[in-house]
Amino acid sequence: MPEQQSQTNRWHARQADEALRELETSNTGLTHEQVQERLYRYGPNRLDEAKPASVLQRLMRHLNNVLLYVLIAAALVTALMGHWVDTFVILAVVVLNVAIGFVQEGKAEKALQAIRHLLAPHAVVLRDGRQQDIDAAELVPGDVVLLASGDSLPADVRLLQARNLRIDEAALTGESVPVDKQVEAVADDAPIGDRVCMGYAGTLVTQGQARAVVVATGAATEIGRIGRMLESVEQGTTPLLRKMEEFGRVLTMVILATSAILFLFGTLIRGMGAGEMFIAAVGLAVAAIPEGLPAIMTITLAIGVQRMATRNAVIRRLPAVETLGSVTVICSDKTGTLTRNEMTVQEVICAGQSLVVEGAGYAPQGALVFEGVAIEPVALLERSVAFLGLMEAAALCNDASLHETDQMWTLAGDPTEGALLTLAMKAGLSPASLKVDRPRLDVIPFESEHRFMATLHTTDGGSEVLVKGAPERILSMCSHQLMADGEELALEPARWHAHVEAQAQAGRRVLALARRRLPNGKDMLGHEDVASELTLLGLVAIIDPPREEAIRAVAQCGAAGIRVVMITGDHGVTASAIARQLGMGDDVKAITGPELEQMDEAAMRQAVAEARVFARASPEHKLRLVRALQANGEVVAMTGDGVNDAPALKQADVGVAMGMKGTEAAKQAGSIVLADDNFASIAHAVEEGRTVYDNLRKTVTFLLPINGGESLSLLLAVLLGIALPITPVQVLWVNMVSSVALAMVLAFEPTEADVMQRPPRRPDEPMLSRFVIWRIFFVSALFLAGIFGMYQWMLSQGATVEAARTVAVNTLVCMEVFYLFSVRYLKSPSFTLEGVKGTPRVLMAVFGVFALQLLFTYAPFMQSLFASEALPLSTGIFVVLAGVAVLVILEIEKMLLRRLGLGPS
């Protein structure tokens, strides 16, 4: 049993070093042994899940259903009338129904549970003096964590160092304006909102960076103490399921009213016995209500969510599953999503000189080719001071690190920076020893808004600031350029811009590097220090090739009527070149962020109608773009990773957050999280979304006509005043056993071949479309004809009512089986090799149903329960023929509708 953590320590009123002492830790974090011991002592950093409903509560929930009330009432009445067999069957059905709902709910819940695990938050800690990325559940008091903008706080922390830190504490205090944080202690009695030196679990860093020590984990955190669960996957339903539930409720009421009218009609007008008529009315209700539908729809959705997760798209909000099927525009980031994010420097340009860099990946192997020949690094750096200065800046103005294990080089940090480290190492420099020689005094971290990063270092006799970033940004800060011989001449902007343009044309990302000497004694860096008077060292050109699978996915989206739009922080020309390589068009002209800023609402709507590439765009532009696209009637999926992307992700119809490089803020705002950050996974999610919708529609189209056929048969019998062709308990058998078993198959149906060749579904398209309604009526009529026809035909052959009913039930089930084969392909022909072969699941269900029907017909105990009778085998041939007839007629119908262009959309 984990020990209770102290809750009386007033961490906010203590100074940082005092807190470290108290927690028996240091600025560089805990050791492995300390962590193990504390993990054992305090338990994992996890909040108890909301208590799951008890078995009894869950059972009661499933019993709370109008149909079951009807059945229980029917069981009572049949018992009063002494029809014990009926009572027994009806009660068995009640139990079965509750059990099926129960098990299915468990399955759906399990699917979601597995996904919740995928979304577990991470934390960056210092342990054993090393920076590590760990599962937030493994945090213990005393751990030192590093926080950056976009992170969700993994535990309650006392800040040790903070730079421009702002935290959104709405989750805890309800205050929506982010709070400025600092490390100084506050008054002992300060309320939570004023404890500016603290950070609380579940709140979000919106800006800045910090180092902090964990003071409370799990249930001991503030959020744990107020017992609020932070949901990682939203429970619930989707608009479509809600509509169907509503439809189901109305349908049930109509059916109950019809049954009541039928009862009155039979007893008062036809003069039939009340008992007999009651059974008929119950039979009608049971026949007409699609009992299995809600459960099967829920499970179809859960299966879809599970399938998406296996294809790297994790659903956080269920309605997204549906919306995905209607997406018309996907706005995607470029770097890492459409491209591989494996950056390699290919060329370095200094004033008047250029260097080709060979090799690929992060391994520091590859020749430097200068003036057409490979050159030794030492010789190169000796010949050109500019190259030396640039390489040093590349290594120092850098937060990434490279590690070699078994001759494999892996990167920790930003790929752009990794490429620069590799470059410096190819030039023979050692970034690690450079960092020791010229320690960093301060940093302005890279943020997409500024598009540069700057670091301040000591250098002989003073300090020097090194800057790297987007070339147009850096060029605007520079006044001079460094020449090969060390001379500093006035900057020639036009020449540099021409170089940038030429590199970008080839799809390369260009970064500029610059430096500036600062007065002695300077140890803090402000934006004003880098705003002007910089000396340009040169440019580096980096390739980041498109992902192969993204090229395929872009083409697939095109065929599926979905426009892919690239929104990137990169240079317009680079972005256009990459778009071309991705097959987004040969002449894609990028619209840039500054151009967007000039546009008003109307101009923006016009611009987004056709455009494929937006470059140098920042997160605010994303929000405006989504709005403009939506105003044009588009259904928009939008990707994002940064904290500032959150509003755009929320605004989009489907917000897609990056699982690997995305911040916690983006993940919380998104309705989908991509486990592999890959564009192709969005296309897969759309495909699965469309499949889910197809399967839901197939389920509805399959089940409703069966209920329709059964109830019409019973109605017709009562209206004609003849014996029922199928008794109520037999209807229950069909609905609860065969129909459910067969319909369940549809939840698992694989994707149809043409799913990504159709245009997106209109979001307002009703599930019960004209086609589905037509199918319900048409197939109901076919079922009515089959049931009634076979029943009457058997009677005319001199069979007993029991035998005729057994034939009617078997015909109904057989027609269901053949109808299942038809429904699996709503639009395309079912008479194909694949269609006839079915899937193992289909065959298993059909075989199972066949075996059950044999039992129903021939097993003595079933005969006594359901009043069925053994049939001669020859009758079976006619039963099968009736089923085949349904399939053939529906194939002809499909063909005719296709010819007339009236099929389902």
Give the residue from 870, 752, 766 showing the smallest Cα distance to 810.
Answer: 870
- Complete DSSP assignment for 353-378: EEEEE---SSSS---EEETTEEE-HH
In the residue annotation, 188 being an active-site residue is answered as no
Q: What torsion, rounded to 10 degrees, do the Cα atoms 433, 435, 438, 441 define?
A: -160
Upper half-sphere CA count for residue 723 (Cβ side, 13 Å)? 13
Write the CA distances from 159 to 222, 231, 851, integer angstroms.
Answer: 16, 26, 69
Alpha-carbon gap, residue 376 to 347, rounded angstroms:
16
Task: Give the nearer residue to ligand ATP in terms of CB position, either 571 or 697.
Answer: 571
DSSP state of 268: I
Cα 164–Cα 165–Cα 167 angle in degrees, nearest 5: 145
Cβ atoms within 10 Å, residue 232: 17
Nearer to ligand ATP, 105 or 414 (CB): 414
Residue 61 burial (10 A CB sphere; 0-12, 13-18, 19+)? middle
DSSP code at position 152: B
Nearer to ligand ATP, 500 or 560 (CB): 500
* Non-local CB neighbours of 193 within 8 Å, separated by 6+ positions: 169, 173, 175, 179
Contact between 56 and 239 (Cβ < 8 Å): no
Nearest distance from residue 443's CB to ligand ATP, in Å? 11
Q: List beta partners, residue 455.
A: 443, 466
* Marked catalytic residue, from 156, 333, 414, 641: 333
User: Collapsing DSSP states into helix, strand and coil, what is residue 158?
Assistant: strand
Report the C-alpha dihedral over residues 203, 414, 510, 333, rounded to 10 degrees.
-50
In terms of CB distance, is 196 or 343 closer to ligand ATP?
Answer: 343
* Secondary structure class of 326 (helix, strand, coil): coil
Considering the complex, state which of residue 572 and residue 708 has its C-beta at the smaller distance from ligand ATP. Answer: 572
Paired tokens of 882: 């009736």
Residue 414 or 464 with smaller CB distance to ligand ATP:
414
Residue number of the CB closest to ligand ATP reads 569
Q: Which residues, including other chains, have CB under 8 Å from residue 130's CB and lie 6 or more apart?
A: none
Q: How far is the CB of 502 from ligand ATP (least distance, A)?
A: 16
Residues forming contacts to ligand ATP in the complex (CB under 6 A) are: 333-335, 414, 416-417, 446, 448, 451-453, 468-470, 509, 511, 568-571
Beta bridge partner(s), residue 180: 166
Would you say how long the chain is, in residues? 905
Specify the amino acid at residue 9: N
Residue matched to tokens 């800023």: 597
Q: How far is the CB of 541 from ligand ATP (least distance, A)?
A: 11
Cβ 121 to ligand ATP, closest distance in Å?
Answer: 22
Phi, psi of 464 (to 5 degrees): -140, 140
Q: Are 155 and 136 in contact (CB under 8 A)?
A: yes
Whole-number Cα distances in Å, 450 to 398, 453, 455, 471, 496: 16, 8, 14, 12, 20
Nearer to ligand ATP, 303 or 470 (CB): 470
Nearer to ligand ATP, 101 or 336 (CB): 336
| Shortest spacing between CB 339 and ligand ATP, in angstroms | 8
Whether 862 contacts 868, CB under 8 Å: yes
Rounded to 5°, the CA angle 509-539-536 comes to 140
Q: Which helix (DSSP H) or strand (DSSP E) does residue 636 occupy?
A: strand 636-640
Quote the least distance from Cβ 890 to ligand ATP, whole Å. Answer: 49
Nearest 5°: the CA angle 577, 580, 582 is: 115
SS3 of the chain: helix, strand, coil, percent, to 5: 50, 15, 30
Shortest distance (Å) from residue 459 CB to ligand ATP: 21
Which amino acid, residue 51? Answer: K
DSSP conformational letter for 335:
T
Nearer to ligand ATP, 666 or 826 (CB): 666
Q: Which is nearer to ligand ATP, 276 or 595 (CB)?
A: 595
By C-beta, is 111 or 566 nearer to ligand ATP? 566
Helical (H) or strand (E) element with 166:
strand 156-168
Q: CA 313 to CA 563: how far, in whole Å?
A: 19
Name which of 570 and 752 has its Cβ closer to ligand ATP: 570
Give me the residue label for tokens 């840039």. Answer: 592
Q: Could you tell me the smallest distance in angstroms from the CB atom of residue 639 to ligand ATP?
A: 8
- Residue 341 Cβ vs ligand ATP, minimum distance, rounded to whole Å: 8
- The minimum distance between CB 542 and ligand ATP, in angstroms, equals 9
Residues 6+ away with beta carbon under 8 Å from 180:
165, 166, 196
Q: What are phi and psi of 507, to 5 degrees?
A: 80, 15
Q: Which is nearer to ligand ATP, 44 or 647 (CB)?
A: 647
Select from 769, 767, 650 the least CA-distant residue to 239. Answer: 767
Minimum distance from CB of 409 to ligand ATP (Å)? Answer: 19
Least Å from the CB of residue 405 to ligand ATP: 24
Q: How far is the CB of 29 from ligand ATP (least distance, A)?
A: 25
Give the residue numbers marked as catalytic: 333
